[in-house]
Amino acid sequence: MDFNDLIVRFVNVIWSRRILFFILFVTIFVGAVGGAYVKPARFESTATLLVTLQASRVKTTASDQQENAVNLQPEEVMAAQVEIMTAREVIEELVDVLPEWVFVKEPSDKWYVRLIIVPLKDAFEAVKRMLIRVQLIEPENERYNRIKILEKGLTVFPVRKAQVIEVSFRSKDRRVPPVVIEELLKIYKARSSALRSESQGFELYHERALKLSEDLAKAERERTEFLLAKNIIDFESERQQLIERLQERRLKADEERLMELVALEPQLNLLNRNTAILTESYYIYRKAADDRQTFFERDNNISAQVIDAPSVIYHKYTRSRLVLVLIGFAAALGLAILIVVLVEWIASIRRIYGHNSVTTEHTQSPFRRMKAGE
């Protein structure tokens, strides 16, 4: 079968089932047109931020500058700013500062949509209240629903190969997106300023390091006073010398001094252990304070500036109604053709199996008559 025969057969199939094709096409197309008129429009507002990483004020050595953990790369800076803007705490704070009307769903301005949606919504709410009353479902958390609305409509992404972040928000109400973005940028600036300010974490580590430094000095002073009071310069060396001298010649003075050192060893070990613990803790807290201070000194060089304020909405974000109708026309035509071809294919299969069953029945009928005669 060549291509022309295939086209002729295809046209014959469509023509033989033209009534089914017409019904399917009209039904699907009318549904698509109705959806294009009923579908609510969405509006989007966008703002642009320029994030810059300037030269660091921190004086570091060449070895420090080679460490990737200390040097902040532009990609890391952009990712960090995006994470700050999309954090759950930021969204929760945004819910608290937004006006109440942002979360109020306004009824549709189309009378035919209100005629259908309003009764259905009232019935749904009545059924839901009844199910909540009999404890079959849990009541909804309004605050959680508002958070999900903001997270669903908000989009924050860094522009590739540029130190620019685009923030956009979509909503069915054209008044909502600019308000949401403006409040989000205010919260972001406040949090960035708080991060760039002097860190309480650094103060905590620094104060702890100072306290440990005082305790360490006190412990070292006590150990020094103990060694001076007992006339000990180097405990291990003196004990080893006494043991060697007693092996050569036993003197009473050496034996008494060795016994005195053995008696003093537990107390000296306690002083040494206390000093070692305080020394290790002091260096740990000092390093933590220095690292945190270095991070925040470098973070102070990150600045974000709004170079494009939230845009005023003039047009809908979604496709126009004409485009939706054309898409519905193409979809209706394609689906109608596909269903008609599928129905014809099923019918041909049934005819083939029906013909085979009739042939088999005629072939077996003489044998059945002979068996019945017996």
Higher local confidence (pLDDT), 367 or 16: 16
Q: State the pLDDT at residue 32.
A: 81
In order of 9, 10, 185, 334, 338, the CA distances from 15 in angstroms are: 10, 9, 62, 15, 14
Name the residue type at position 300.
N
Q: Going along the chain, which residue ranges are E strands?
A: 43-53, 154-158, 164-171, 302-308
**Integer Cα distance of 342 and 336 in angstroms:** 10
**Integer Cα distance of 92 and 187 in angstroms:** 11
Does 200 have pLDDT greater than 60? no
Name the residue type at position 164.
V
Percentage of residues of the chain with pLDDT beyond 90: 0
Do the domain assignments include residue 334? Answer: yes
Q: State the pLDDT at residue 283.
A: 86
Cβ contact 181:275 at 8 Å: no
Same domain, 132 and 144: yes
Place of tokens 């300010």: 197
Does 166 have pLDDT greater than 50? yes
| 305-321: pLDDT as tens digits | 776 777 666 556 566 66
| 265-281: pLDDT as tens digits | 888 888 888 888 888 88
Q: How confident is the model at residue 64 (pLDDT cuts 50, 70, 90)?
A: very low
Q: Which domain holds residue 30?
A: 1-39+318-374
Do the domain assignments include residue 46? Answer: yes
Same domain, 223 and 92: yes
Same domain, 237 and 269: yes
Same domain, 25 and 46: no
**Integer Cα distance of 124 and 108 in angstroms:** 17
Name the residue type at position 298.
R
Backbone angles phi, psi at 45, to 5 degrees: -120, 145
Does 12 have pLDDT greater than 50? yes
Give the H/E segment covering residue 77.
helix 74-85
**Integer Cα distance of 166 and 82 in angstroms:** 10
Is the pTM higher than 0.75? The answer reads: no
Does 113 have pLDDT greater than 70? no
Q: State the pLDDT at residue 112.
A: 60
Q: Give me the residues paired with residue 168 across strands.
A: 46, 155
Average pLDDT taken over every residue of the chain: 76
